[in-house]
Structures are given as C-alpha cells and as structure tokens.
Chain A
Amino acid sequence: MDFNALFSDFGGYTITGLTVGAIYALVALGYTLVYGVLRLINFAHSEVFIAGAFAAIWGWSALGLDRDSVVSGFGSIMLYLLVGALIAAVASAGTATVVEQVAYRPLRKRNAPPLAFLITAIGASIAIAEAFGIYTRRLPVGAPTVVKNDVLFTIFGAEVTAVQLLILGSALGMMVALDLFINRSRIGRGIRAVAQDQNTAALMGINKDRIILVVFIIGGVMAGVAGMLYDVRIGALTYSVGFLLGLKAFTAAVLGGIGNLRGALVGGLLLGLVENYASALFGANWKDLVAFVVLVVLLMFRPTGLLGESLGRARA
C-alpha cells in the first residue's frame, strides 16, 4: 500500500474523486427518481446518458468545433457550455421519453410482471448502445476542449481547475434545483404522491402517466448534462462507456438509499472518493474491487443505504 502517494497529495485525490463522484451523482438521480416512482430499475438509463454525451459532441461539431478546437474567452465558453448542455439535455430527455413510451408504458398497460420490465430495459439498453456503436464504427469520438483545464486556485494544497469547479458547481446547483422542484412545486408534489401510492394519487386527480413521463424527462435532463460534463472532463467518448458508468451510478444510488434524491448525491460523491483513494493506495487496478467491497460492507450495516429509501415518505 502506497500511503505516501495518498497523503502527499491528499487534497488532489479528494478533488478529483469528488469530480468523478459528481457525474455519478447526476446519473444516479435518474435511477433513483424512476425507482422511487415505479419501483423499477431503468437499466436503459446508461444509454440515456450516452445519448446526451454524443449529442453534445455532435452539437458542438455542428457549431464548428472539432476535436482539436480550443474555446477561449469567458463569454464564448459559457455560451458553448450552455448550448452543449441544452442539446445534451434534449437528446437525453428524448431518449428517456422514447424508452418510456416504447419499452415500459405498453407493459404497464398490460400489468406485466416486474421481470418483463427488467428484460425490456436491458433490451433497450443493448439496442441503443449497439446503434451508437455501429454508427461510430465502434471508434472513440474526440470532444473539443470547451473548457481549458487551468488551475484557478489552491485549497488545502490541492489545485482546483476550471473543469473541476464547473462539474462540482453544476452538479450541486442542479441537485439543489431538483430538490426544490420536487419539494416545492405542484408537479413535485404530484411526483411524491405517485411515489407513495399510485392508485390513491390517481383518485386525487393526478394524471399518473403524465407524472411518470415527467420523471423520465427529469432523469434524462440530469443524465444529459452529466453526459456533457463527461465530454468536458474525459475528452473522448466511446459507445460502450455507458454500461460501466451506469452500473457505478446505480451503485451510488443504492449506496445513498435508492429512491432518495439527497442519497444519490451522497452516494455518488462517496463512491467517487472511495474509488480515487483506492486507486492511490493500491493502484488503479484495485479501485473497483475496493469500491464494491465498501458497498457490500456498508449495505450489511445499512441495508436501505446511507440515507434510507424515501422519495415520498419522509418529507411528504
């Protein structure tokens, strides 16, 4: 074990771990929202994320940015980020809508058993990923440098770069906005009502199908923005990256307590940190092993996750 590597640069590993974790958290929100309302793990959510990540790159390229472009100037950086996030959010929300309408809604109408949902979810996931794979000839697609990774300031000996600040800031901002939306708005109240009891909610005049669609769209928007942030951070995209990232985000959702929005944030950040510390201590090849052992141990002591399951219940 390499304690020296970890502690000589503890701040650095913490910041990069939080950055990775923030992207997990944004994707985890989609899993947690859908699970909270439908008690269904939407395995196609990883491809909702991929759709946004590809859409952002292709959107930038339509605006004249290729993989070697470097954007400069605060105004144009912000403009490209906003446009990229918008395109990605629309693409992801669109994909999520299609998945809901094609793969889930018909089954729901027929009262299909939960296993059927699981299979259509996995089917949709594979089909979408393969379509991207065939379209990109399974080659990596490079993203432009929209934000240069300049060091902005140093905190506790750790250098914080523009990209890290962007990712952490937007993830936290979107979390707060979503939390307010679910807890304060009229639609949010509807979502919580459907999460508690679909039939009673319907009796109270809530359009169940519309609420479910809204939940998929919100999850899609979060995943789309996460996809755009992923492009900015990683710099290149391959059609197959969704599977593992989706699995990690799902893990983060379970870790924090599936169905619980704040749990998704805590779980995501924690998973990112544990992975990064493990990489430093044991080497990058150990990170998944350590991360998942931590998950198993945590769930042994808190089977419902760190913050417990609750979309509707606790704060209804």
Chain B
Amino acid sequence: MRQKLVRLVGGVAIAALALGGATACKSDSGSDGASGDGCGKKIAFFGALTGPASALGINENHGVELAVEQYNKDNADCKVTLVPLDSQGNPDQAPGLAQQAIDDEQIIGIVGPAFSGESEAANPFFAEAGLVHVTASATNPTLADQGWKTFFRVVGNDFTQAPAAAWYIENELKAEKVYVIDDQSAYGAGLGDEIKKVLGAKVVGSDKVQGEGKQNDFSATVTKVKSSGATAIFYGGYYQEAGLIRKQLTAAGVTATLVAADGVNDASYIEGAGAAAAEGSILTCPCMPASETGGTFEEDYKAMHGTDPGTYSDTAFDAANILLAGIKAGNTDRAKLVEFVRGYTGQGVAANHKFTETGDLDPASVRIWAYVVKDGKIVPAREIPKS
C-alpha cells in the first residue's frame, strides 16, 4: 500500500513542482518595496501540518505561533508575519516548498524543516539561497556534516540519545542482559548500533525488523527475545512497530522493559501496544517536559491553543525566538540573520543555546529526559545525567 501511495504522492509532487516553478517566474518582480524600514518581514514554519506524521508538526507550529504573537504584541509598530509551509513530512514535496519560501523575499528565516528526511531534500536549496533555518526536531546526526552554512538545530542529535538510553538501562533498570532490535532505518539502526557500542557485552542478542508498516507479525523476534532471557529491550525505530512488538512480547509472557527513543515517544505507541503492555516502557527524548521548561511558556501556550504543549513545542518556540531576536536587533536581511544566529547565545525554555561550527546545539547544552508510560500516559521520569 505504501508503495502505491508513494507513487501517487510522487505524481502530485511533480505537478506541484511544475506549478511552483510557474509561479516562481512571476513572483520575482512582484515583491513590494515596503521592506525599506525592516518591517513587514516574515518567518516561515516548514513541517508536516497534515498527513500521517502531522502531530509533531502541529505541536511545533503552535510553538512558533506563540513566539510570533508575543513578539508582535511587544513590537506592534513593526510586526512579523508567520508563513506556515505544510510539507506533509514528505521529502518529495520539500524542494518545491523550499523554493516557494526562497522566492518570497520577505521570508528571512525558517523554523524547520521538522524531519530529517525532508531536511535532506530541502536544506541544500536553503544553503544556496543563504536562507537561515533552525530545526526544532530533525535529529539525524549527518545533517550537520553537509557543510550547509544555514543549518542550525536547537535539539540534541541522535548520537546524544543513544548514550542516554544506555545510561538509563545500566543505572536505572540495572539490566545485565539487553536485547537490541532495530528497524533498519537510518534513524533506528543508528540508535541500535550506538547502544550496542556503549553496552558491549551486556547485549545478549539483536535482531532487525522491517519498518514503515511493512511487518506486523514479530513472532520470530519475540521467540528470540524470550530465549535470550533479556531483562531490557532497546528498540530503535518508530511508534507503529514498537507498539506491535511490545504487545506481542507481553502476550508471549516477556516482561522485560522496553526502552526506545523519541521516535516512539508518542501516544500512538500506547494505542498500538495497549496500556497494560505499554506500562513501564521507557522513552527518551532530547526534549524537556512542559512542566520543566520554566517561565510562563506552559501557561501562555495553553492560553493560546487550549492544549498542553506537546513534544517539540518548546524547541520550536525557542527556534522562533532566536530568529525574532535577530530581527529585533535589526538583522532584517537573510545574510545578516544567518550571521546573527551563528553567533547567538542565550537561554531558551528548552535549553541554553549556543551552536557549534556545524550548526549543532553545543553538546554541553543538550538535555535528555527519560519518560515512562504510566496508566496509559507518557509522563516524565527523570533527566538523564551526562556520562
């Protein structure tokens, strides 16, 4: 089904690209001259607002909306406009959407792209156009190694999560026998390999499954885990498979604790596994619980959107505030704003921001939290110290 879908979406994306190209030719001359005083600038949010992976994108866009609203309240005479760019999380659509942002000269900064896949597709365009983009959630480590001068990220990358998960397995669960499963994706296998490196001989076995909804029956893997006698299981992958694996493990009588990273940190994991089987699962995330973010962020967010901040709402809020701080300081063109972000240091709600030369968050600023599933809900357990 997915393959059929991809073909379908691919066709639509090509059509969209063609259309985007057509409008691009027209709009170049169309930008008005109201930018002389540095007002009327725009920032864009780039991420999934509809489609299968939209929960995270909507969380982030809400965070950005809050930041822009607060800015405009304080700077009523010189407002900034937010442009939401809905990528549906689809790398095929990302280049066209990136071009659309680049063609609008009033857009001088981007929050996003939200996911690693679409980042790989869109970031080269941003780099060429010199348009700064700060992602709040794309955690694939290789994104920082591409030489994109416009890339910044306000969360820790996947390399920071694996040691943290390993620390939790060793020190909190005190597991001596660990079984490692991954879904063969760049994200999942990367995490799994790091875990194996850190835990060494404590890993008693490992298996690879198929991700992207291609596998539903994990009985062979379950049998292997069962006979390995592991007391903890690390899963590198996303929530859909994680939920099924957890449910089938529990049904087969395996009580070992499942530990996974931010790809599983979503209520859909509990929907798949059922609350009883999911109970006690440990999910790490380079994001802080809403109650820890400090200041009035949580109340303000709730007042504006009527819901609690979700995963990555806080980091998106921070990313937007960094861009807005630059605009306020008078960096109202693309070249100046890139340089401003590169040199930026300051305290946000989710982290103390300082960037490395490649645009990654300074490792000293990365904070990883462990969450636990309790009574069918994901609640914060504790912050994981740096080892």
Is B175 in contact with chain A by the CB < 8 A criterion?
Answer: no
Contacts of B252 on A, CB cut-off 8 Å?
A: 149, 161
> Measured between alpha carbons, how far is A244 from B223 in the docked complex, in Å?
23
**Cβ of A141 and Cβ of B271 under 8 Å apart?**
yes
Contacts of A287 on B, CB cut-off 8 Å?
A: 220
Q: A283-B208, A285-B210 are in contact. Are A236 and B272 (CB under 8 A)?
A: yes
**Cβ of A12 and Cβ of B251 under 8 Å apart?**
no
Is B209 in contact with chain A by the CB < 8 A criterion?
Answer: yes
Is B244 in contact with chain A by the CB < 8 A criterion?
Answer: yes
**Cβ of B4 and Cβ of A284 under 8 Å apart?**
no
**Cβ of B208 and Cβ of A129 under 8 Å apart?**
no
> Measured between alpha carbons, how far is A9 from B221 in the docked complex, in Å?
12
Interface string of A126-158 (1 = CB under 8 A from B): 100110000000111110010001010000000
Partner of A283, one of B207, B227, B276: B207
Of the stretches A13-21, A25-33, A188-196, the one at the interface is A13-21
**Cβ of A139 and Cβ of B219 under 8 Å apart?**
no
CB distance from B170 to the nearest CB of A (A): 25
**Cβ of B215 and Cβ of A284 under 8 Å apart?**
yes
**Cβ of B276 and Cβ of A280 under 8 Å apart?**
no
**Cβ of B272 and Cβ of A20 under 8 Å apart?**
no
> Measured between alpha carbons, how far is A115 from B250 in the docked complex, in Å?
46
Is B213 in contact with chain A by the CB < 8 A criterion?
Answer: yes
Q: A68-B275, A284-B210 are in contact. Are A243 and B1 (CB under 8 A)?
A: yes
> Measured between alpha carbons, how far is A68 from B172 in the docked complex, in Å?
28
B213 to chain A: closest residue by CB: A240
Partner of B244, one of A68, A122, A235, A243: A235
Chain B residues 199 to 222 lying within 8 A of chain A, measured CB to CB, are: 207-210, 213-222
> Measured between alpha carbons, how far is A11 from B267 in the docked complex, in Å?
36
CB distance from A161 to the nearest CB of B (A): 8
CB distance from B254 to the nearest CB of A (A): 11
CB distance from B317 to the nearest CB of A (A): 25
Is B2 in contact with chain A by the CB < 8 A criterion?
Answer: yes
Is A260 in contact with chain B by the CB < 8 A criterion?
Answer: no
Contacts of B376 on A, CB cut-off 8 Å?
A: 68
Contacts of B51 on A, CB cut-off 8 Å?
A: 138
Is B247 in contact with chain A by the CB < 8 A criterion?
Answer: yes
A232 to chain B: closest residue by CB: B251
The A/B interface has a contact count, at CB < 8 Å, of 118
Is B346 in contact with chain A by the CB < 8 A criterion?
Answer: no
Is A276 in contact with chain B by the CB < 8 A criterion?
Answer: yes
Partner of A284, one of B52, B207, B253: B207
Interface string of A220-264 (1 = CB under 8 A from B): 000000000000011110111111110000000000000000000
> Measured between alpha carbons, how far is A280 from B247 in the docked complex, in Å?
20
**Cβ of A284 and Cβ of B2 under 8 Å apart?**
no
**Cβ of B214 and Cβ of A142 under 8 Å apart?**
no
**Cβ of A285 and Cβ of B271 under 8 Å apart?**
no
Is B377 in contact with chain A by the CB < 8 A criterion?
Answer: no
A288 to chain B: closest residue by CB: B210
**Cβ of B220 and Cβ of A280 under 8 Å apart?**
yes
Interface string of B247-260 (1 = CB under 8 A from A): 11001110000000
Partner of B272, one of A17, A68, A140: A140
Contacts of B274 on A, CB cut-off 8 Å?
A: 67-68, 142, 145, 235-236
**Cβ of A241 and Cβ of B220 under 8 Å apart?**
no
Interface string of B64-98 (1 = CB under 8 A from A): 00000000000000000000000000000000000
Contacts of B140 on A, CB cut-off 8 Å?
A: none
Contacts of A163 on B, CB cut-off 8 Å?
A: 251
List, sorted by A's number, 7 A–B pairs whose CB atoms are closer than 8 Å: A9-B223, A145-B276, A240-B2, A240-B213, A244-B1, A284-B208, A284-B218
A residues adjacent to B (C-beta < 8 A):
5, 8-9, 12-13, 16-17, 19-20, 67-68, 70, 122, 126, 129-130, 138-142, 145, 149, 151, 161, 163, 233-236, 238-245, 275-276, 279-280, 283-285, 287-288
Q: Which 10 A-B pairs have the closest CB atoms?
A: A279-B220, A243-B1, A16-B219, A240-B1, A285-B208, A235-B247, A149-B251, A138-B52, A236-B272, A140-B272
